[in-house]
């Protein structure tokens, strides 16, 4: 992944999400704001998720290139704290915007896909490296 791919994220995105990491799937509204800083060395993301009858969830992410490995990584800071279905520190797969993190045998993969002014985010979970199960599917439009 290169800086040009991160630049595609820059801007304000709003949309809907379907969360399937608990017993009963539910719908949410979300707003993501991506901004390149420090001459493109970092991409910041502010995230707000609202669901009726649930506390608002917020997050802040920092995307960066690891100096040692040249892999693109992301670290999320969340409130409430990250659940087992959410990433905290993840590394992009080679040449893509798919971030993978494994903690205690559980792997999450979050993929960012673009089509014109539409962004799709899909988070999947796996135990043991097979049978990816959808945890979150979001579709957003650039404002």
Within a 10 A sphere around the Cβ of 7, how many other Cβ atoms? Answer: 13
**Does residue 52 contact residue 33 with C-beta atoms inside 8 Å?**
no
Asked if the structure places residue 143 within a domain, the reply is no
Nearest in space to 92 (alpha carbons), one of 61, 46, 117, 119: 61
> Which two three-digit tokens encode residue 64?
């960066």
Distance CA 33, CA 132 (A): 28
Give 10-residue mean pLDDT values along the chain (143 residues): 72 96 89 93 95 92 85 85 65 77 86 90 87 94 95
pTM, two decimals, is 0.87
> What CATH number did the domain enclosing 94 receive?
2.40.128.20
Q: Which helix (H) or strand (E) holds 5?
A: helix 3-7
**Domains of the chain: total:** 1
- Which domain covers residue 33, as residue numbers? 3-138
């Amino acid at each position: 992944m290169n800086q040009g791919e991160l630049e595609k994220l820059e801007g304000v995105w709003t949309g809907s999400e379907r969360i399937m990491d608990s017993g009963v799937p539910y719908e949410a509204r979300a707003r993501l704001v991506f901004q390149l800083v420090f001459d493109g060395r970092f991409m910041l993301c502010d995230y707000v998720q609202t669901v009726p009858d649930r506390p608002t969830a917020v997050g802040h992410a920092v995307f960066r290139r690891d100096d040692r490995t040249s892999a693109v990584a992301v670290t999320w800071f969340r409130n409430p704290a990250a659940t087992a279905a959410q990433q905290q520190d993840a590394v992009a797969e080679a040449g893509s915007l798919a971030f993978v993190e494994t903690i205690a045998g559980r792997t999450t993969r979050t993929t960012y896909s673009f089509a014109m002014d539409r962004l799709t985010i899909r988070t999947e979970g796996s135990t043991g490296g097979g049978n990816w199960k959808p945890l979150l599917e979001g579709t957003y439009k650039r404002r």
